[in-house]
Homo-oligomer: A and B are copies of this chain.
Amino acid sequence: MSQTVRQIAELRNSVRRWRRKGESIAMVPTMGALHAGHLALVEAARQSADRIIVTIFVNPAQFAEGEDLGRYPRAEAGDLEKLRPFDPDIVFAPSAEEIYPQGFDTAISVGGPSSGLESDTRPQFFTGVATVVTKLLLAGLPDLATFGEKDYQQLLVVKKLVRDLNIPTTIIACPTIREPDGLALSSRNAYLSADERAAAPLLFETLGKLAGQIGGGAAIDDATAQATGDLERAGFDIDYLTVRNARTLEPVSDPATEPLRALVAARLGSTRLIDNVAVPRNSDADK
C-alpha cells in the first residue's frame, strides 16, 4: 500500500533504500485533483520503473495574483483513493512550508519555449513551474518523470530545464487523455457550468480541423483565422490560437519542413481551458 510522505528528508530515506537495492525510480508530479489523465501518467511511469513516487502539491508559485489558487480543487483523500489501484510506492504530499520554507528566495527562469503563449497572460507561470519541478526532481532524484502533452508548453519548458541544468532525470511525455466527446481532461473542467461543458468539446474539434487543414496544405494564417472565428462565435474568449514549431514553439517559418503543433487557450465564462494537437505532416496527407 502507498505510503504518504510529507517531508523531503523522509522521501530521501526511501529513495536511498531503493537505490541501494539497484531499483529504478519514476516520479509523477501533479497538483492533485486527479483524473484519468494523471492516472495514465502513473501507469506510464509504472511501465518504466521499479518504484513510483506520485507528488501532490498545489504550487502557489505558479499562480498569479487573482488566479484560482484559492479555489483550485484539493481532494487528497479522494486522490489517494483513485491512486490505490495503481499502487504507487510513495505519495509525496508536502506542505507549502516544506517546499517554500521561511526565507526561500530562489527562482529558475527558462528561456526558449517559455516565452509567449501561456506567459503572455501568466508572466510568472513557468518560473514557478521550473522552480518547483526542479525542487521535486532534486528531492526524489528519479530516473524518469512523466508529464502530459496536455500542458504542451510546460512539457517543452520542463524538458529544456532538465537539459539546461543537467538534472539527472529523463522526461517522458504522455498523450493527452480526453473525454469521449474530445474535451481534454483537466482539473479545471470541474468549474464548467452545464452549458459551458456542452460547448467545451468544440475546442478540440476546432483544433483538430485546423491541424488537418494545415497538414493538408492550407495556409496557416487563413486556417487559423477561420478557426478563431468558429470558436468566438461559439462564445469562447481566446487568449491564443496559433500554430507553432512543435519543438521550439517559435513562429513557423517553413510549414513544409518544420514539425508543427496547434495550440489554444480560451475562456468559457470564467474557466480557462487549454489544449493542443500535432499537425499531421504534409507527407501524411498524400498517403
Number of chain A residues close to chain B: CB under 8 A: 27
By a beta-carbon cutoff of 8 Å, the part of chain A in contact with chain B is 8, 12, 19, 103-112, 130-131, 134-135, 138-139, 141, 160-161, 164-168
Number of copies of this protein chain within its complex: 2
Min CB gap A136→B, angstroms: 8
The residue from B112, B167, B168 contacting A12, defined by CB atoms under 8 A apart: B168
Given contacts A8-B166, A166-B135, A168-B138, contact A108 B111 (CB under 8 A): no
- Complex CA distance for A109 and B104, rounded to whole angstroms: 12
- B105 adjacent to A112 (CB under 8 Å): yes
Min CB gap A43→B, angstroms: 27
- A106 adjacent to B138 (CB under 8 Å): no
Min CB gap A257→B, angstroms: 19
With a 10 A CB-CB cut-off, give which of A104, A131, A161 has the most chain B CB atoms. A104
- B161 adjacent to A138 (CB under 8 Å): no
Return chain B residues, CB-CB under 8 Å to A139: 166
Min CB gap A184→B, angstroms: 28
- Complex CA distance for A103 and B245, rounded to whole angstroms: 15
With a 10 A CB-CB cut-off, give which of A105, A109, A111, A141 has the most chain B CB atoms. A105
